[in-house]
A and B are shown apart, each in its own frame.
Chain A
Amino acid sequence: MLAKRIIPCLDIKDGQTVKGINFVNIKSVGDPVELGALYAEQGADELVFLDITASHEGRKTFVELVRRIAREINIPFTVGGGISELKDADALLSAGADKISINSSAVRNPKLIDDLALNFGSQFVVLAIDARGENDHWTVTVNGGRIPTEKELFSWAKEGESRGAGEILFTSMNHDGTKAGFANKELAKMADMLRIPIIASGGAGNMEHFVDVFTEGKADAGLAASIFHYKEIAIPDLKSFLKSKGIVIR
């Protein structure tokens, strides 16, 4: 059986991880390669590296970082942040990224999804969607959830799939940071509509939340950042807990 995936997400600024406290086993928690390698060793199924650097210099640092990640880490990884045209994606692919995620740039220019899928294959393209719900209407937001757009979550996810996205990474801004569980109702609705894998993000607070997101939420993968970085949940513990609950886990 295909296993459900656990994905830690690392935010990167100027080549350094933003969040995170000291792990005993690594020299520098600020080094994304060391932290990523530790997660891989602990059983993470994939990694996501999000570049939140705005400057041009920072971009170059990030590409160099991706090259190092590709050399050191032996599991698949996705990189995102600041990809607005084909050449950005091409540079990251050449540096060794397995997938890229696009978010605001796809909202502004949906054809970017088609172009990326056509040039690099759907398996390379993750469409990240941040959305906020109000009275059962889910509005797609950009710039880290700060700016609402005209787009509605489910129709945008469907459009992304038909344009050639290989996966959807859905973050519920209502749930993000609450540690009260994932947006399972919306995730399940999306899973029933789409034929591509869905990565759930936003709201992970304890191990039960991952059971819920894989059963009620029908998600293919669960992504989280701070609970892993702050060692609130250790990945080996999470994986054995999920196994004990009958979830197929590597």
Chain B
Amino acid sequence: MNLAIIKYNAGNIESVNNALLRLGVSAEITGDHEKIRMADKVIFPGVGEASTTMAFLKKEGLDQLIPDLKQPVLGICLGLQLMCSHSEEGDTPCLGIFEEKVKRFIPEPGMEFVTKVPHMGWNSISELKSGIFDPSLDQQYVYFVHSYYAAVGEHTAAVCNYINPFSAALHRDNFYATQFHPEKSGTVGAKILENFLKI
């Protein structure tokens, strides 16, 4: 299988590559349009800030390429947020693959334990849809690190609850995305990546 990881100015892309290597799959980390277009599957990872990252994607023409891809595409963390229509982070218009909007978590004061932002750690996912999940993954824990979230909407493929319910995953046509880090989510995350590779 010919697998491309989109290379851009985001942190920790190597950890996605490491997770794929553990599954016995080698991917190419590349920003080359032709290579990305020809790949059987594409992963769009990311840790970083929305507005600077969108600016970078535009400069590289990746903002035109990504929404146009026809093969299965998996966005991770910031990747998911950038695939939405808009992010409150830097008031940024994003790729618009999903109509869902990205908002900042507002901590709720007065709860027994003051809610902390970022949402960091292991949380459970439910209401699973789309080919990257299977019934065995319902209520399983996955690893999150984020301060912004995609609201629950038409394309929500998994729900997580932190302060409020939000999209832990999105799916539309050939586009899949997870807010959590499957590459850091133990065997559950490995299963999700494996499912994506089988699509």
A: residues with CB less than 8 A from B are: 1-3, 5, 40, 45, 70-72, 74-76, 93-94, 96, 98, 120-123, 166-167, 191-192, 195-197, 218, 220-221, 250
Q: How far is the CA of A196 from the CA of B107 in the complex (A)?
A: 12
Instruction: Using A76-B143, A96-B15, A195-B114 as known contacts, list a sample of 15 further A-B pairs with CB atoms less than 8 Å apart, ordered by residue number in A.
Output: A1-B123, A3-B121, A3-B122, A5-B122, A40-B186, A74-B19, A74-B184, A76-B181, A96-B18, A120-B11, A122-B118, A196-B116, A218-B113, A220-B121, A250-B141
Smallest beta-carbon distance B56→chain A, Å? 16
Q: How far is the CA of A220 from the CA of B47 in the complex (A)?
A: 23
Size of the chain B interface, CB-CB below 8 angstroms: 35
Q: How far is the CA of A72 from the CA of B124 in the complex (A)?
A: 24
Secondary structure type dominating chain A contacts: loop
Q: How far is the CA of A94 from the CA of B185 in the complex (A)?
A: 20
Q: Which residues of A contact B141 (CB under 8 A)?
A: 3, 250
Query: B117 near A: Cβ within 8 Å?
Result: yes
Q: How far is the CA of A191 from the CA of B116 in the complex (A)?
A: 10
Contact A75 B145, beta carbon cutoff 8 Å: no
Q: Which residues of A contact B117 (CB under 8 A)?
A: 195
Q: List 9 A-B contacts (CB under 8 A).
A: A45-B122, A76-B181, A76-B184, A122-B118, A123-B47, A123-B118, A123-B120, A197-B116, A197-B120
Q: How far is the CA of A2 from the CA of B143 in the complex (A)?
A: 10
Query: B75 near A: Cβ within 8 Å?
Result: no
Smallest beta-carbon distance B45→chain A, Å? 13
Smallest beta-carbon distance A75→chain B, Å? 5
In this complex, which of B14, B22, B120 has the most chain A Cβ atoms within 10 angstroms of its Cβ? B120
Q: Which residues of A contact B15 (CB under 8 A)?
A: 70, 96, 98
Q: Which residues of B contact A3 (CB under 8 A)?
A: 121-124, 141
Smallest beta-carbon distance A188→chain B, Å? 11
Contact A166 B120, beta carbon cutoff 8 Å: yes
Contacts A71-B18, A123-B145, A195-B114 given; indicate if A98 touches B122 (C-beta within 8 A): no
